[in-house]
Amino acid sequence: MLEILYRDEHLVAVNKPSGLLVHRSMIDRHETAFAIQILREQIGRYVYPLHRLDKPTSGVLLFALSKEAAQRMSGLIASRETSKTYLAVVRGYTDAQGRIDYPLKEQLDKMTDKKARTDKPAQEAVTDYVRLATAELPYPVSRYPVARYSLLRLTPHTGRKHQLRRHMKHIMHPIVGDTKHGRGEHNRLFREKFDCRRLLLHAQTLQFIHPYTGESLVIEAQPDETFLRVLELFPMRFEIK
C-alpha cells in the first residue's frame, strides 16, 4: 500500500518509498514491484505517471487518472509551471545558498538506449540550494578526523536525469547514499553507524496550479523513518517544510 497524499477525480499523488521503481525497466529486470502497478491495484483505476523519481529517491510522485488530465499536466510540466523541492544530506559544509548552473550531457543506458544519439550537446540544467543545517560527527573519514555534513533544500528548475545527484557531485558535495555519484567512505559510515542504506534525497513538495480548478496546490510528503533518524543528527532550529 502506498501513502496517498492527494486525490481528486483527475489526479492522485503518493509518497513513493526509496527503493521502489516507478515503472518496469530493463535496467532492473529482476524487480517485480512498481509504483504504477501498486497504485492501480490499490485504487482500482488506470493511472498515468506524470514525472519520474529515481528508484532510490523517495517522495511526492504525481499521476493522472485520465489521458486528458495527463496531457494537461504534461503541458504544465513541460512549460516549467510546476515547482519541486527536495531534502538532501550531502558531504561537507556547503555555502549558505547558491545556484548550480551546469549543463548536463544526456545519460544513456547501454541496454535501453542502444540506438540513441551519443553526440547530443549538453542540456541546460539549473538547481538552487539553501543550507538548512550542518552537523559534525566524531568519526574519522578518509584523511579527516571528523565527518561534516549539510542538510539542504534543493529546487531544480530543469528536469535532467539524475540532475540533483550530478549537480551535487559537480560542486564536490555529493549526496550521502549515492552509490553512483557519491563517496563510498561516507556511504559506509552511514550504513555502519546509523543503519542507513538509502539515498538521502527526498522529494518533499510539489507545487502547481490545478489544470481543471485553477487552485494552487502544494502537495507535501514526509520523509521515512530512516531519513528522519538521520535528521536527528542536525541541530534543528526550524521546521522541515
pLDDT at 80: 85
- Report the C-alpha gap between 84 and 78 in whole angstroms: 14
Question: What pLDDT, on a 0 to 100 scale, did the predictor assign at position 237?
Answer: 55
pLDDT tops 80 at residue 117: no
Could you give all domains of the chain from N- to C-terminal order, each with its CATH number?
3-231 (3.30.2350.10)
- DSSP, residue by residue, 132-148: EEEEEES--BTTBSSEE
Residue 114 has pLDDT above 90, yes or no: no
Q: What is the pLDDT of residues 128-184, one digit of tens each?
A: 999 999 999 999 998 999 999 999 999 999 999 999 999 999 999 999 999 999 999
What was the pLDDT predicted at 17?
97
Give the cell for residue 155: 529546487
- Of 54, 101, 113, 224, the active-site residue reads 54
Residue predicted with more confidence, 158 or 109: 158
Looking at the predicted structure, is the pLDDT value of residue 23 above 90?
no
Instruction: Supply the pLDDT for residue 238.
Output: 54
Provide the pairing of β-strand 82-91 with 147-156. antiparallel
Mean pLDDT across the stretch 115-129? Answer: 82
Amino acid letter, residue 91: R
- pLDDT, position 22: 93
Lowest mean pLDDT among 4-8, 92-96, 108-112, 229-233: 108-112
Rounded CA Rg of the chain? 18
What is the reported pTM? 0.92
Q: Is residue 90 a contact partner of residue 226, using CB atoms and an 8 Å limit? A: no
> Over the stretch 190-219, which tens digit does the pLDDT of each residue have?
999 999 999 999 999 999 999 999 999 999
Higher pLDDT: 2 or 117? It is 2
Task: Tell me, yes or no, if 54 is annotated catalytic.
Answer: yes
User: Averaged over 107-133, what is the pLDDT?
Assistant: 76
For residue range 24-68, list pLDDT tens digits in order. Answer: 766 666 767 899 999 999 999 999 999 999 999 999 999 999 999
